[in-house]
Each structure stands twice: as C-alpha cells, then as structure tokens.
Amino acid sequence: MDEPGLELKRGTRKEYDQLVECEFFTRADRIELIDGLLIVSEPQSAYHYGAIRLVERALREAFGEGWDVRMEAPIALDDTSEPEPDVAVVRGTFRDHFAAHPSDPVLVVEVALSSMTLDRRYKSSLYARAGRKEYWVLNPIDRVLEVRRDPEVSAAAPYGWDDRFVEIVVPGSSVNPLAAPGATIAVADLLPPL
C-alpha cells in the first residue's frame, strides 16, 4: 500500500486500541488497522451484508459448538494489524474474548464487492504472514469462492507472504474447512441471489 514519495505514519495495534478506548473513532468511521495503516472498510450495502450473513450461518452450522463465528469483529493479528474481517472462526465462545480480541482464527472470510484488490492481494498476504492456514474470499459478482491455504514466503507479495494453494470453487461444488474437515459447505449456500 506504500506509494513512492508518499510519507506514511504507521501505528501499532496498541496505539490503535488506545484510540478506540478513548472513543477517538465512532462506529461510522468503519476503519481497520492493516500493517500499521488505518484503512477505510468497504461500505455495507444490503447485498454485501446479506452475503456476510449467509457465510456466517453456513460456518456456524459447519463448526458447531466450541467455536465462535464472529461477524465484522476485530482480530488481534500481530503488533501492527487488527483487521475486522467480514467473518472469522475462532476456538471457544464469545465469552472467551472479553479481555482481548482473539488472535488465532482458524478461518477468515472476506466478502469482496468493491474491495477485491484489498482482499485478494493485501489481506491475503497479511493473513499469510500471520500464519493463518486458511483464508477465503467470496466473490458474489463472479459467483465464486477463492480458497487460499498453506502460507509461504513470497517476495512478490505485499507483506512478504502469500498462500501456496489457491483454488477457485464454483457453485455446484463444495468446500471442507481445514479446521472442520468433516463439514461440507456448498458454495451455492454462501452466494446471495443475483
């Protein structure tokens, strides 16, 4: 996200959390901390939010008890990043996260309408750098699910990491989350109507 000749001030997750605690930001600001930079999140259309709900429902059914399926909630990814993915699955329940945001999601999902470049290039590299084993990008416009797995070092990626395995899954096919291998999720169940 760096541009030549443009000087940026990067912050830490601790600094960001202090700003949140003192109510510097409002809910209307819709920002997230990505590699030390404040990034404005994609606006929420009814269609986008509906797609998020479909993903949340499918993952809640697939993972069941003992898992917290979080919508648009912070993940304490590393010292300079606190993204708020559309959906994330973490171990435990919501009661386990009153003291701090979870830091170890087993699955992160972004629903990409206008944010495709951010989600596919930057966030995928960010999650790979943090060692997240599975990241999905749902593309309702092209009607596909991009499944990304197996992080590896990559000099070409924005944050030095990318996923070795990338599969495009279409309606009529299904996917099995790595952390819930016995569960089968139909891609069609994740996609909102056109």
Q: Where are the domains of the chain?
A: 43-189
Q: Does residue 26 register a pLDDT over 80?
A: no
Q: Considering the entire predicted model, what is its pTM?
A: 0.90
Q: Please, what sign has the CA dihedral across residues 85, 86, 92, 94?
A: positive
pLDDT of residue 1: 61
pLDDT of residue 69: 97
What is the average pLDDT across 140-154?
A: 96
- Pick the closest to residue 35 from 73, 74, 82 (CA basis): 82
In whole angstroms, give the CA distance from residue 68 to residue 58: 13
Confidence band, pLDDT 50/70/90 cuts, at residue 141: very high
Pick the CATH number of 43-189 from 3.10.20.30, 3.90.1570.10, 3.40.50.150, 3.60.15.10: 3.90.1570.10
Q: Does residue 50 register a pLDDT over 80?
A: yes
Largest Cα–Cα separation, the chain: 50
3-state SS, residue 27: helix
pLDDT of residue 100: 87
Q: Does residue 52 register a pLDDT over 90?
A: yes
Residue 83 tokens, joined: 């993204």
Q: Does residue 103 register a pLDDT over 70?
A: yes
What is the average pLDDT across 51-55?
A: 97
